Amino acid sequence: MKKLNEVAIFESFRIQPSKNEKIEVERLKKQFKESPISTTGLMILESIAAPFVSTGGQYIDFYKKTYSNITIVFKSSIRDAAISDVSQKLRKRKKKAYEIKKTDLEKMILKEEKRIKEKREDSLFKKILLVHLGIPFL
């Protein structure tokens, strides 16, 4: 791999949403930043009312569109966190990203993604268990 900037190397591994997804995600982020509670409530109401209001198979498109946008946001954030962790690990080893093969970097990022997902699943399971036992958490 030629000597590229670390940012440029890791940029190739990021999840790039399509133009429409990017516009919709930015709109959702802006709405959520302005009023998180009402945006969440509105999304819940839209998902409940969609089958009753829509005609034909249009409500299926609503679910596909909303689900794919939210999925892109989560996948992208997990990938970004994994890239950040891999970058930190490389700095600790005092290595540069261009010194490592692209396939090895990809394996490291995917391994880190898997670790992050497992950590979040374990955290969610622990929170559910604590709530079930009656122990509050923040």
List the chain domain ranges.
6-133
* Dihedral in degrees, nearest 10, Cα atoms 62, 77, 36, 125: 90
Backbone angles phi, psi at 112, to 5 degrees: -70, -40
Burial 91-124 (b: 16+ CB within 10 A, else e): eeeeeebbebeeeebeebbeebbeebeeeeeeee
Can you give the pLDDT of all 138 residues of the chain as single tens digits? 456 677 777 877 887 777 777 777 777 778 778 887 777 777 777 766 666 665 555 555 555 666 566 677 778 878 888 888 998 998 898 888 888 888 999 999 999 999 988 887 777 777 777 776 777 655
* Dihedral in degrees, nearest 10, Cα atoms 127, 129, 134, 138: -10
